[in-house]
Structure 1
Amino acid sequence: MSEKTWYYNVATGEVSDEKIGSWDNRMGPYATEGEARNAFEIAHQRNEDADERDRDDDWDNDDWG
């Protein structure tokens, strides 16, 4: 039996344990209902983390072998 997953619907602001609505209005899956309720905060933090990794990359390195 698979574990329950949760989704956040950006069009309605509702959290559900089913894939309700269109995929382009749905964020998830999340492991808990609480994570789904914090979907925007989680996405924001993931974006911040990715931006930090991009800043740390050495894009000016011409040593491609």
Structure 2
Amino acid sequence: MTTEEQYWYNTETGEVEEGRRSSWTHLMGPYGTRAEAQQALESAKARNESWEEDDEDWRKK
């Protein structure tokens, strides 16, 4: 898969980019589809919440 076939979520603009066009400091990805890139923030939030729950369970042990 080339960079042009990947999608990135730009946290500065809130837009999905096909191919890496902006500074890496504003990008999340790469994602295989535009839909995955559009869900980047929601996916990150869910992943972070899961990790926080895992950390809390670990601390209780």
Q: Distance in 1 between matches of 2:50 and 2:6?
A: 24
Deviation at residue 27 of structure 1 after TM alignment: 0.7
Indicate the residue corresponding to 1:31 in structure 2. 32
Displacement of 1:17 after TM fit? 2.0
Flag as ranges the 4+ runs of structure 1 deviating above 4 A.
Answer: none
Q: Once superposed, what is the RMSD of the aligned Cα atoms? A: 1.7
When Rg is computed on C-alpha atoms for both structures, the one with the higher figure is: 1
What secondary structure does 2:35 align onto? helix
Q: 1:10 to 1:60 in 2, by over 3 A?
A: closer
TM-score, length of structure 2 as denominator length: 0.80
Aligned residue for 1:11? 12
More helix by share: 2
C-alpha distance in structure 2 between counterparts of 1:60 and 1:52, whole Å: 11
